Amino acid sequence: MSWLFTKYFITAAVVVLVSELAKRSDKLGGLVAALPLVTILTLIWLYVENQPTSKIANHAWYTFWYVVPTLPMFLVFPIMLPRYGFWPSLLACVFITVCSFALFAVIVRRFGIELL
């Protein structure tokens, strides 16, 4: 049980670190947020917990494919934010991401990559 709390603490600390950095510097906060910190932590947790290498490799593989359809959100959100406010912009970006993901999943299925 203490291992689970350790994982929660370290993972939460990364999120707090990114938000604190972002308050001080837009560029540094963005850079650190863009790093695949959650993925790196997940890979570490899987490895430390003796998961098979195939499971760890698959996680990295699917993470790559799931990141691609999220990219439009990062372009649309800064454009929408000053016009519509935070919550409507965020909600619209979630919708855009879901639609992008669905469309992307259909497209990559043609190449033998099953995301759904």
Task: Report the SS3 class of residue 109.
Answer: helix
pTM over 0.85: no
pLDDT tens readout for residues 67-96:
999 999 999 999 999 999 999 999 999 999
Q: Are 69 and 97 in contact (CB under 8 A)?
A: yes
CA–CA gap between residue 21 and residue 26 (Å, rounded): 8
Residue 24 burial (CB count, 10 A): 8
pLDDT tens readout for residues 13-56:
988 988 999 999 999 988 888 888 889 999 999 999 999 999 99
Amino acid 37: pLDDT: 87
Amino acid 114: pLDDT: 93
First to last CA, the chain: 32
- What angle is formed at CA 42 by the lines to CA 5 and CA 49, rounded to 5 degrees? 65
* Nearest residue to 39 (alpha-carbon basis) of 17, 4, 5, 14: 14
Amino acid 3: pLDDT: 85
Amino acid 66: pLDDT: 93
